[in-house]
Amino acid sequence: MSPVSTTSSRVIYDALKACGIRLMSALPETWLVHLIRMAEDDPEMILVRLAKEEEGVGISAGAHLAGVKSAMLMQNHGLLASINGIVSCAQLYRIPLLMLVSYRGELGERDPWQTEGGGVTEDILRALRIPFVMLEQPDHVAQRIADAQTLALASNKPVALLLRRGLMIEEDGAGRAGGAGR
């Protein structure tokens, strides 16, 4: 039984579809399992499974060059693993990049291995000059995803949406969405 919210995942997924997203690249983590399954089950969505998140920058660049809208789905540690691709491909070549990033390591995090990345995520985004917004409540998800996509396409640059604990985890605010090793 996963404490990850299916309801919130569905709201996020539907918002991505409403933005015209046709391809998603993903590397799984616990908070993203429902979103990845939804993409898997959707015949209208192309799901590309990655070995490392930086590949997703290239795949989104390829999709954009062919006129197809895409999104990247990853953990904040995957964002850290993607940085040169973001800077030297997406930003240098002016590629819009819609990045959905699960924000692990915030207050309430119980997994020690998530805490370091959590502490630097926002500073990294600021240093990279990537505009970002939090997804915290189901009722603002659709608008914020649409706004992020609008800005990404208007600026031809990366934009990040940070998926927070309160949105992704159901009823257990103390954060039991640990994964392996507990």
Site of interaction with another protein (CB under 8 A): 22-23, 46, 48-52, 54-68, 70, 84-85, 87-89, 92-95
Residue number, 59 or 168, with CB nearest to another protein = 59
Cβ of residue 94: shortest distance to another protein, in angstroms? 5
Query: What are 101's strand-pairing partners?
Result: 74, 162
Question: Are the beta carbons of 160 and 118 closer than 8 angstroms?
Answer: no
**Residue 175 φ/ψ, nearest 5 degrees:** 80, 70
**Token pair belonging to 160:** 């990040």
Cβ of residue 135: shortest distance to another protein, in angstroms? 25
Cβ of residue 46: shortest distance to another protein, in angstroms? 6
- Rounded to whole angstroms, the Cα distance separating 173 from 45 reads 31
Residue number, 63 or 177, with CB nearest to another protein = 63
Residue number, 50 or 168, with CB nearest to another protein = 50
Residue number, 83 or 133, with CB nearest to another protein = 83
Cβ of residue 144: shortest distance to another protein, in angstroms? 25
Q: How far apart are the first and last CA of the chain?
A: 16
- Closest C-alpha among 15, 90, 23, 22 to residue 54: 90
